[in-house]
């Protein structure tokens, strides 16, 4: 049975939770790989690595090692390509637009806490007209520590002026749930995100699972 909560703030991870960014990240990775003479990889195979950022995607593309002699060259190219075309094929996950509107209609605020660099996260949110709607945007270079450290989530609370106990944090990676729990927030795992075959969301320690973005409304909307 879904436990109804009474939060003041909903915080979301970006890639794999709020936005489906895998298509543009995958395109940038494959352009970088082929530029340097390596074989491209499939989107389905690459998706579970999106939560590891560009470094993780490049490691995957080069066979799983950042010691590969082509690693730095491919990573640099991927970042360049992604910066130019980061909102071509990306989209809000189905139902997420309604979720955000419902959150706002309830008088709640929402924000983003991601490990993505601010130049990419902010540009993405501007592309989807979400930048000014978000109460805060905490990126991977906003604080000294990234998730799974709780510092980014605590910084979000400081900027919004809410207590961690008044927040729900939603993410599609174990490090998201670890960070949210360490910060003292209620955590929900986005099981619709970029999960690999080895990922068992039931082991992450989240209070609940979201199999679709609209499932969030069952946790926060009055009956």
Catalytic residues: 13, 15
Closest CA to 200 of 169, 166, 173, 218: 173
Q: Answer yes or no: are the C-beta atoms of 212 and 182 closer than 8 Å.
A: no
Cβ neighbours, 10 Å, residue 97: 14
Residues pairing with 109 in the sheet: 9
Buried b (16+ CB within 10 A) or exposed e, 72-86: eebbebbbebbeeeb
Q: 110 and 103 in contact (C-beta within 8 Å)? A: yes
- Angle at the Cα of 17 from the Cα atoms of 183 and 216, rounded to 5 degrees: 80
């Amino acid at each position: 049975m879904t436990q109804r909560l009474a939060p003041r703030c909903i915080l979301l991870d970006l890639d794999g939770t709020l936005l489906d960014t895998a298509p543009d990240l995958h395109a940038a990775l494959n352009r970088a790989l082929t530029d340097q003479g390596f074989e491209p990889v499939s989107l389905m195979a690459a998706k579970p690595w999106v939560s590891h950022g560009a470094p993780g995607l490049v490691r995957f593309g080069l066979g799983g090692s950042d010691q590969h002699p082509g690693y730095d060259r491919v990573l640099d190219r991927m970042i360049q390509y992604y910066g130019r075309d980061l909102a071509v094929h990306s989209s809000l996950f189905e139902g997420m637009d309604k979720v955000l509107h419902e959150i706002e209609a309830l008088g709640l605020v929402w924000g983003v806490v991601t490990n993505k660099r601010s130049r990419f996260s902010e540009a993405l949110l501007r592309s989807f007209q979400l930048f000014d709607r978000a109460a805060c945007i905490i990126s991977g270079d906003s604080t000294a520590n990234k998730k799974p450290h709780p510092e980014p989530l605590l910084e979000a609370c400081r900027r919004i002026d809410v207590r961690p106990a008044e927040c729900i944090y939603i993410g599609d990676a174990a490090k998201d749930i670890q960070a949210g729990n360490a910060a003292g927030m209620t955590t929900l795992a986005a099981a619709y995100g970029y999960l690999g075959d080895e990922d068992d969301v039931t082991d992450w320690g989240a209070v609940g699972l979201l199999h679709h973005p609209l499932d969030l409304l069952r946790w926060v909307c009055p009956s």
